[in-house]
Amino acid sequence: MPSPISPLAAVEPRLRSLLPADLYATAWMDPSPASLTRVFEHLRTLQRILYDYVPRQVTEVLPRPGEARHEWQEGTLMFTDLAGFTPLMEANAARGSAGAESLLGVLNSYFSEMIEIISKSGGNLLEFTGDAMLVEFPADPRRSDAARAVRAGLRMQRAMARFADLETAEGALSLEMRVGLHTGRFIAADIGTPRRMAHVLLGTPVQRTKQAEGAGEVGRVCLTEAAHELARDQFNFEPGHPGHVLVVDDLTPKSLGEYEISPTSRRMASAVLLDRSVEALVGEIEKAVKSVEPLASYLPRPILTLVVESAARRSIPPVFLEATVVMVNLIGLSESADHVRPDEVDALLNTFARAFALINAAAEARGGVLKNITYHLAGSDMLIYFGVPNAHIDDSLRAASAALAIRDIVARLPPPSVGGREVALECQIGMARGPVFAAEIGEPRGRREFNVLGDSVNTAARLMGRAVGNRILITEAIQREIAARFNCQSLGPMRLKGKAAPTPVFALREAVDQRPVRS
């Protein structure tokens, strides 16, 4: 006698990636009101978690996964960067899980403090970039966005006093921060496939904000000339690096104030189950899936699985791991947004979406995770890591194979036209291997992301910055692990920012063993 068709049969394919393995099996084998209620409650919890994982712009109007959308925006952008994290990580790494929990406590205390100030100052946190943040202060009719950003930056720098003397097993350590601001017009877009979406910004204002942070000083707020022009009458300034000024923090607590706006909650409303019949529960589950799927598409599949399996605990345990990190800088597309004509925008975004989708696929097929698209002094950066959350004995081989595939993808991309001219596309890739800190960082019950931080990420980024002309630069540790299957050329020692001694660097040229390296 054939088994009866499960009431979940119609929605089951969409539930596969959204339910923990044990709950999926239970609901399929026993679709009773009790187990279906558990499915609904899990999806409701997962929706809350994913809601906090993505920028506000995504949650205000959920996109349909795979559909590109964009809008021109204007305002002041803020980049922050944390100084002192690497020594703090190293001081805690030897303590294992206890050290990981301690480090996460400090890091999340920092982020919670900063995110609260940002929110109260009228800013939107767009993304975490390692221990850094990208924040948007939207323009208003009075163009108060630059002043709001300056006030937020000053409040944030004052709040850093509580992180100036942190006790560790290695003695007292401190965290400090740089803040950079720039005002301009840029494109905000959602791109990708139904399987993987990304929220991105295009335009040189993003890179100029990053440059302002780099031109600044710890403990200070640094502005470009464009941001200074809007805020010059409300604060005192002193000269900084060419093209930049530093804010003089001579405001009394009363004149600085606590915030510009009443803080608004990002919490979502909760659905209430009134009818717990099987038919009604299946209907509510289908509605919940429709709300969860767009949010889930913004997470890499391995991280989505990690979030799904840990949803009941509402937290992911922090760990120290060995990982291979690949940093990719895609140059040409973001900068072109400044000059794009209205009839060229779609083609530019389609090329960006194609690049992102193919690069993500190249990483995913080899067991890697493309975290997100972020921003560098030029171009758009993509952080890809191997070994987190799933490790393989050949992670460096997988990463090298992915890097070569990505270089080929960029070389084959049909260039869009901007201003009537084809855009010149190229990439720079850096690779490093070593210990990383993997954790869910941010506000424990608010805006947060799963992230990978550490010196290996920084080293890969430094090598990426030196890999001009479509090169792939790697560390000696990676070269030793992949030498049997890949042709690498020694470039000798290079001085990299943050390194006391020169670092031996190699250029990854090509595979000499053509067997595929894939999941």
Same domain, 429 and 457: yes
pLDDT tens track for 91-110: 999 889 999 999 999 999 99
Q: Which of 257-266, 325-334, 436-445, 470-479 has the lowest mean pLDDT?
A: 257-266
- Does residue 4 sit within a domain? no
pLDDT tens track for 45-102: 999 999 999 998 899 888 888 888 999 999 999 999 999 998 999 899 988 999 999 9
Task: Give the pLDDT band (50/70/90) at residue 400.
Answer: very high
Task: Give the pLDDT band (50/70/90) at residue 1.
Answer: very low
Same domain, 343 and 438: yes
CATH number at residue 72: 3.30.70.1230
176-192 and 221-224 as β-strands: parallel, antiparallel, unpaired?
parallel
Q: Write down the pTM of the prediction.
A: 0.93
Task: Give the pLDDT band (50/70/90) at residue 266.
Answer: low
| Alpha helices by DSSP H, 429-510 | 455-466, 476-482
For residue 2, pLDDT over 60 is answered with no
Same domain, 195 and 274: no
- Does residue 477 sit within a domain? yes
Q: Are 78 and 179 in contact (CB under 8 A)?
A: yes
pLDDT at 253: 86
**Arithmetic mean of pLDDT, 115-122:** 93
pLDDT tens track for 241-265: 999 999 999 998 888 877 766 555 5
Q: Which of 55-59, 396-400, 450-454 has the lowest mean pLDDT?
A: 55-59
- Does residue 489 sit within a domain? yes
Question: What does pLDDT average to over the chain?
Answer: 92
- Does residue 496 sit within a domain? yes
H or E segment and range at residue 253 = helix 253-256
Same domain, 34 and 180: no
**Arithmetic mean of pLDDT, 119-129:** 92
Tokens 């994982």 belong to which residue? 53
Same domain, 403 and 323: yes
Same domain, 417 and 447: yes
**Arithmetic mean of pLDDT, 385-413:** 96
Rounded CA gap, 29 and 86, in Å?
48
For residue 160, pLDDT over 80 is answered with yes
The strand pairing partners of 489, in sequence order, are: 507
pLDDT tens track for 5-36: 889 999 999 999 999 999 999 999 999 999 99
Same domain, 363 and 411: yes
Burial 356-366 (b: 16+ CB within 10 A, else e): bbbbbbbbbbb
- Higher pLDDT pick, 518 / 1: 518
pLDDT at 384: 97
Percent of the chain with pLDDT over 70: 96
Same domain, 418 and 285: no
For residue 404, pLDDT over 70 is answered with yes
For residue 3, pLDDT over 70 is answered with no
Rounded CA gap, 190 and 373, in Å?
11
Same domain, 289 and 309: no
Rounded CA gap, 374 and 381, in Å?
5
Orientation of helix 345-365 relative to helix 395-412, angle to 10°: 160
- Does residue 5 sit within a domain? no
For residue 471, pLDDT over 90 is answered with yes
Task: Give the pLDDT band (50/70/90) at residue 444.
Answer: confident
Same domain, 244 and 319: no
pLDDT tens track for 315-374: 899 999 999 999 999 999 999 999 999 999 999 999 999 999 999 999 999 999 999 888
Per the structure, the count of domains in the chain is 3
- Does residue 277 sit within a domain? yes
- Does residue 281 sit within a domain? yes
Tokens 């890809």 belong to which residue? 384
Q: Which residues contact 342 (CB under 8 A, 6 or more apart)?
A: none
Give the domain extent around 46.
12-53+268-298
Three-state secondary structure along 380-436?
A: EEEEEEECCCCCCCCHHHHHHHHHHHHHHHHHHCCCCEECCEECCCEEEEEEEEEEE
Report CA-CA distances (Å) from 98 to 101, 237, 404, 453, 454: 5, 44, 38, 17, 17
426-442 and 472-475 as β-strands: parallel, antiparallel, unpaired?
parallel
CA R_g for the chain: 24
Same domain, 250 and 195: yes
Same domain, 491 and 365: yes
pLDDT tens track for 222-238: 999 999 999 999 999 99
Single out the residue of 462, 354, 442, 455 nearest to residue 406, CA to CA. Answer: 354
pLDDT at 271: 65
Percent of the chain with pLDDT over 90: 81
| SS3 label, residue 95 | coil
Single out the residue of 374, 369, 348, 349 nearest to residue 359, CA to CA. Answer: 369
- Does residue 519 sit within a domain? no
